[in-house]
Structure 1
Amino acid sequence: MKKIYISFLLVCNLLASGRSIAQDLWPAITKEMKPWTRWWWLGSAVDRPNVERELTLFEKSGFGGVEITPIYGAKGFESNYLSFLSPQWMNMLAVTTDKAGTLGMGVDINLGTGWPFGGPQIKEKDAATKLILDEFELKKGEKITFPLKPKDPKQHYFFLQALRAFRSDNSEIKLDEYISKTTGTWEAPTDIRLLAVFSGRTGQKVKRAAPGGEGYTLDHLGKQSVGSYFNRFAEAFKGKPLHVRAFFNDSYEVYGANWTDDFLQSFEQIKGYKLQDNLLDFAGRGKDEAKTAGLKSDYREVVNALLAQNFLNPFTDFAHRYKAISKNQAHGSPGNLIDLYADADIAECETFGSSSFDIPGLRRDTADIRNVDPDPMMAKFATSATNVYGKKYTSSETFTWLTEHFKTSLSQAKPEVEQLFLAGVNHVFYHGTTYSPQNVPFPGWLFYASVNFVPQNSFWDHLTGLNQYITRVQSILQSSRADNELLIYWPIYDIWNNAKGMDKALKVHDVDDWLHPTEFYKQSVQLQKRGYSFDFATDKILAGTTVNDGELHTSKDAIPYRAIYIPACRYFSEVTLQKILEMANQGATVIFQKLPQAVPGYGQLEERHAMFNKLIASLGFAKDKANQYTAFGKGKIYLTTDVNSALETEDIAPERINQTGLKFSRRVAGKDSYYYLVNHSGQTVDRYITLNAKAAYYSLLDPQTGRTYQLPSADDKIRVQIPSGYSWIVLASERQAKEPFRYQDESIQVAQLDRDWKVRFVAGGPVLPKPQKLDRLSSWTKWGDKDAINFSGTAAFEKTFSIHKDQSKSYLLKLGRVAESARVYINGKDAGVLWSIPFQQDITTLLVDGENKIRIEVANLMANRIRHLDQQKVSWRNYHEINFVNINYKNFDASDWKPMESGLIGPVTLWSY
């Protein structure tokens, strides 16, 4: 039989020719499956016509919803500002939700302005609070006068909460009766060190606040302060149908806030002893560093508990009162991030900066990127919180500071978002889109930290390509659940049980300090490279885990796990250790890299340590022996530095996909298994692979095009043929696509199309350059035309060419270097948007035998036009507050930029196969 090879990119031809292919393998699209965008309302200077116009543009481009965050305004438009939560502002929110509803879109709102939560309703008593631990040296006979004040002269709203005097031998004199004194003195009976605990205020105010949102930052740890904060919203929302899908809380950037006014009472209630009775060691002035570390651990655990109990749980409850859900970014919080992510309905992570990929031709200009590489492992803190509780969505603030302003291409965005998908994120929010009235000249209103996904951006007409890709991938990720074999315990107490510092705010930007050096991180990376899939588990998650037939069930809606792995850590809760042994006794497989050495904290230390030692002894492991295991009830416990051998002994096999250079994520829906495969390597991966999930049939769901194909299999092996920069979704199922996939096994170049092009500039500015006839393709900034050098927009490249079309062949168009995205027409018919590497398209059905016409509409980026504006000293950066800064948070100035390559650079070639 004669073999016919057809490219998997044939799908765009089929779209253009009107042929239909069964789409039943793709889920029905919901608004959540589409990308959403953070919609900055500058000064809340919004009006009905522009709100409705922009929402219509967003929907047409493929967005599923917006997340409104009001911020500072543009200068000169103050008369248009709407005060946050005023009747006028609430009316515009209603206009937004009404219009979004008619478009099938959703609306989330930041439950505040700028960040973090705060505003005019937060008076000093409810403002972000900090521990002030002052030390006073008194000689014998010296006196202190009441009321005692902090040393910091900026503190004018404070409470003295504990007062202790210490002699030179560290013996203590309690001075509790003086705490509330407003007059009088106390005389030192000998040379004294006096320690005073004050509850003070950080003084932080809302960052980037919108009109009507200015004020102190909220005390997130205080029950009364949080209640005061939400009361303002309850009053504004009273009697109004909101039609808001979710309330959002941005990353925890509450600087220096580590206390609340009733912290000591809460501490005693939670930990069972008084922190102030151990003040010398808590302050680090005692001689027992281990005790200091234990006290700090208990303190940090209480901070974590209060953040959940007094802020996040009420936040979620408040959202539910208004038929909305809560969405929270936990990173930066001084607590157990996984648990704090899980306290909201939707856990949201974020990416900041750009990553390095091996994809040939992918631009990464070192001068235009921040010295920050997003770590996909960090995203798994949020996705784990989703997966272990069987929730549906993990969202992400995506592309923050991906590159310098105006220099981000859609092609650069693709692998960055793919890293999030691979980590389990399935609900992407762009960062971001700025509301801008139609009459504001180019570039419109812009936000200082965003990739500007705005209609004024040159790539806007091609953004549908990225949006449709994200929609297809998310349709699978949202319709399935993570299928991960392992739970990996996160040893939070190794972070908390430390004598240094006070609170431990775990920030995205500080992972080099608190995450990367740990065995937890190193082992997680090693297991991932090996081909294992996993989620992270906390003490709280394990406390609620049950065992059935040897599998670990973290919730009724989560896929069960086959083993728990505990990387080397020093501190471990005796309660959690007892729970782990109970699970092993019931049939679970538990693997320790090393046995922990001690319990964390200080309260009831001796009793807890005795229990811990007894539990460790019950394992019967020999000392100083590297690899051991023991049967334990119905289960098994390993103590080994070779986790891979232990897993293979238990017949828990990794996927072999990683050995090909591909990255993967595995999902399940009923009896179906999905593999999301991504090629970030430097070459095409053309290999036979065996998947762990066996099925009667295998199908390719191509997320770049939406087409579905049968994949032939033999002995459970399938062949993948994935170019660098491309991705597949493979479905293992009883269902099957209708059309066979045909691999590209032979290809011959039949035409070189890089000469004799006519170019006409069709949209953009500042002016349209004059048409050109090109002998050879090159960047339009090299043509010696100043108008072209300064131009940002779209140019149409056209030519004719002749081929002898062989009906037994297929034809693949390769554009080569594109700066930065393109839409292709063959003989007047749309062949689709080429917005990312590898910039190639099957055009078989659009070609004719003989003469053919090709038109390629290429859009560059905004950079060259912005450069021209700054060279002409046009005043377009004119905002209150931070105004507009570059990637290093310095004043933005593009006047000395070199022009960026623009247009169709090629070589453009046509291949038959």
Structure 2
Amino acid sequence: MTGVRDPEIPEGYSFDYINAEVILNRLSVEKGRFILPDGMSYEIMVLPPLTTMRPELLAKLEQLAAKGGKILGPKPLKSPSLQNYPECDKKVIELADKMWHSKGKQINHYGNGVIINGYSLEEVFKLFEIEKDLDTKTAPVLWTHRTLPGMEIYFITNQSDAKINIDPSFRVSGLKPQLWDALTGEIHYLKEYSEAGGRTVVPLEMEKHRSWFIIFTNANNKKTGFSQKSNFPELKILSAIKGPYYVNFINKETGPAEEQIFTTLTDWSESENEKIKYYSGSAIYSTTFNINDIPKNSGLFLDLGNVAVMAEVKLNGKDAGGVWVAPFRLNVSDLLKKGTNELEIKVVNLWRNRLIKDNSLPENKRYTWTVVNDIKENEKPHTSGLLGPVTVKYISN
């Protein structure tokens, strides 16, 4: 849902749009906050810069304000509807005159709540001492926050094309932070944090476009992963898997029919073999590597380095999972063994490379077609394949 943001929302605060149906049927006020049944709660309701409102909606706002809700916005002057006209306009005027003293700048205490008009949100937050919910110090992140009994849930996403290290300050105290990774399903305690003045600062590390759930709770979680002393412990290389890699391109019509041997991991688009250079689809990399010793009480990871664009991994014949965003890394603590390990990596790239090749061929020689052909003249094939370096890493606590 989208809409007008007037006044603008200051940095460090978040919001949701809400429509009349939700206000009428689901919104309530508890302890001065607007509450929804699914756990979302809000300090202030901001009305759009309009002077019209249906009488039944205004009546619900009057109830919410009387129970303690804070409402910021202009005084309604009439109904936008002709239903029950002119009684609808009379009802709006009657209710609005009770809630707003005038059309100008004002702070009107109404019941247990407050009606505000003509103030910026910065002024309102300062007036009611509402601190920033999440202070990220202009870091390139988006976030949202939900409250559940005994739990504060923040969802944070890195919107940049680079890895970032941030120290966000959360409007939370008395609860311990956990990191829930929606990508892998893993949960970790965040042991590095500081608490002061009703706020908690948690150092976070985020790869490009990565997202975390940061959960504040005192409840013990039996699903937490391996023990780690720092929030984002250093990973050390246990083994570098240099190959050679035996590569089978699945589509034999458009790719090489024979198994290829990659002594080094290279970008398909830079190959001198046009069946590799313009290949689109999946290819399976196979190799073996040896592990002499496995560190005790440490998480073990297979790091693929760089992948264009997705990969599915099997280690010793068992599924290790799939990757499609950086870091291209999988937890293989239960799959890695001492001695010889068999590794199989199925990589899939974009189909655009084949489209680029087919665009240069007569129609009767093409393998693909598309309704919208947006291939640019002389467009080069895009980076593809397993680029590496592929390593096995362990946590250095």
TM-score range, shorter chain: 0.7 to 0.9
Q: Which residue of 2 aligns with 1:584?
A: 65
The 8 Å contact of residues 155 and 214 in structure 2, kept in 1 or not, is answered as yes
> 1 CA distance for matches of 2:68 and 2:23?
15
The 8 Å contact of residues 32 and 68 in structure 2, kept in 1 or not, is answered as yes
Deviation of 1:874 after TM superposition, in Å, equals: 4.6
What is the total number of aligned residue pairs between the two structures? 381
1:770-791 alpha-carbon deviations (Å, 9 max, x no partner): 3333454322232222322343
Q: Say whether residues 1:707 and 2:186 are aligned partners.
A: yes
1:655 to 120, 133, 143: 133
Deviation of 1:863 after TM superposition, in Å, equals: 3.3
1:785-835 alpha-carbon deviations (Å, 9 max, x no partner): 232234333323345667875837766554333121123355666543222
Q: Say whether residues 1:862 and 2:351 are aligned partners.
A: yes
Q: Say whether residues 1:564 and 2:52 are aligned partners.
A: no
One-letter code of the match for 1:590?
A: I
Q: Which residue of 1 aligns with 2:211?
A: 727
Higher strand content, 1 or 2? 2
What does 1:24-63 align with in structure 2 at a 5 Å threshold?
none
792 and 642 in structure 1: CA distance in 2 versus 1, 3 angstrom threshold: same
1:885 to 366, 371, 384: 371
1:424-453 alpha-carbon deviations (Å, 9 max, x no partner): xxxxxxxxxxxxxxxxxxxxxxxxxxxxxx
639 and 908 in structure 1: CA distance in 2 versus 1, 3 angstrom threshold: same
Structure 1, unaligned runs of 5 or more: 1-376, 379-514
735 and 861 in structure 1: CA distance in 2 versus 1, 3 angstrom threshold: same
Q: Which residue of 2 aligns with 1:773?
A: 261
Higher gyration radius (CA)? 1
1:819 to 299, 308, 311: 308
606 and 897 in structure 1: CA distance in 2 versus 1, 3 angstrom threshold: same
> 1 CA distance for matches of 2:16 and 2:391?
44
> 2 CA distance for matches of 1:583 and 1:848?
62
Q: Which residue of 2 aligns with 1:791?
A: 279
675 and 560 in structure 1: CA distance in 2 versus 1, 3 angstrom threshold: closer
> 1 CA distance for matches of 2:265 and 2:31?
65
1:906 to 384, 388, 391: 388
> 1 CA distance for matches of 2:81 and 2:299?
69
Q: Which residue of 2 aligns with 1:536?
A: 18
Q: CA RMSD in A?
A: 4.4
TM-score for both structures, normalised by structure 1: 0.36
1:324-371 alpha-carbon deviations (Å, 9 max, x no partner): xxxxxxxxxxxxxxxxxxxxxxxxxxxxxxxxxxxxxxxxxxxxxxxx
> 1 CA distance for matches of 2:86 and 2:334?
79
TM-score for both structures, normalised by structure 2: 0.73
What does 1:432-443 align with in structure 2 at a 5 Å threshold?
none
1:518-566 alpha-carbon deviations (Å, 9 max, x no partner): xx2354x726x5332434132x444455556545466x67756543221
SS in structure 2 at match of 1:681:
coil
Deviation of 1:728 after TM superposition, in Å, equals: 2.5
Structure 2, unaligned runs of 5 or more: none
What does 1:466-865 align with in structure 2 at a 5 Å threshold?
515=3, 520-521=4-5, 523=7, 526=9, 529-538=11-20, 540-544=21-25, 547=29, 550-552=32-34, 561-592=42-73, 594-596=74-76, 599-601=79-81, 612-613=92-93, 615-619=95-99, 621=101, 625=105, 628-647=106-125, 649-650=127-128, 652-656=130-134, 658-659=136-137, 660-668=139-147, 670-692=149-171, 696-712=175-191, 715=195, 716-738=200-222, 739=225, 740-743=227-230, 744-747=232-235, 757-769=244-256, 770-799=258-287, 807=295, 813-825=302-314, 830-843=319-332, 854-865=343-354
The 8 Å contact of residues 816 and 839 in structure 1, kept in 2 or not, is answered as yes
> 2 CA distance for matches of 1:849 and 1:543?
63
Q: Which residue of 2 aligns with 1:144?
A: none
Q: Which residue of 2 aligns with 1:335?
A: none
> 1 CA distance for matches of 2:282 and 2:362?
22
1:383-421 alpha-carbon deviations (Å, 9 max, x no partner): xxxxxxxxxxxxxxxxxxxxxxxxxxxxxxxxxxxxxxx
664 and 745 in structure 1: CA distance in 2 versus 1, 3 angstrom threshold: same
What does 1:154-553 align with in structure 2 at a 5 Å threshold?
377-378=1-2, 515=3, 520-521=4-5, 523=7, 526=9, 529-538=11-20, 540-544=21-25, 547=29, 550-552=32-34
> 2 CA distance for matches of 1:836 and 1:666?
24
Higher helix content, 1 or 2? 1
The 8 Å contact of residues 761 and 768 in structure 1, kept in 2 or not, is answered as no
> 2 CA distance for matches of 1:806 and 1:548?
54
Percent sequence identity over aligned pairs: 21
Deviation of 1:857 after TM superposition, in Å, equals: 2.7
> 1 CA distance for matches of 2:177 and 2:12?
24
What does 1:80-119 align with in structure 2 at a 5 Å threshold?
none
Deviation of 1:629 after TM superposition, in Å, equals: 0.8
One-letter code of the match for 1:722?
A: M
823 and 559 in structure 1: CA distance in 2 versus 1, 3 angstrom threshold: closer
788 and 691 in structure 1: CA distance in 2 versus 1, 3 angstrom threshold: same
One-letter code of the match for 2:66?
A: N
> 2 CA distance for matches of 1:823 and 1:547?
49
SS in structure 2 at match of 1:631:
strand
> 1 CA distance for matches of 2:33 and 2:334?
52
814 and 696 in structure 1: CA distance in 2 versus 1, 3 angstrom threshold: same
583 and 747 in structure 1: CA distance in 2 versus 1, 3 angstrom threshold: closer
The 8 Å contact of residues 78 and 88 in structure 2, kept in 1 or not, is answered as no
The 8 Å contact of residues 311 and 346 in structure 2, kept in 1 or not, is answered as yes
One-letter code of the match for 1:707?
A: E
678 and 893 in structure 1: CA distance in 2 versus 1, 3 angstrom threshold: closer
724 and 589 in structure 1: CA distance in 2 versus 1, 3 angstrom threshold: same
Deviation of 1:901 after TM superposition, in Å, equals: 2.8
> 1 CA distance for matches of 2:333 and 2:84?
76
Deviation of 1:623 after TM superposition, in Å, equals: 6.4
The 8 Å contact of residues 288 and 340 in structure 2, kept in 1 or not, is answered as yes
The 8 Å contact of residues 551 and 562 in structure 1, kept in 2 or not, is answered as yes
The 8 Å contact of residues 323 and 329 in structure 2, kept in 1 or not, is answered as yes
One-letter code of the match for 1:759?
A: Y
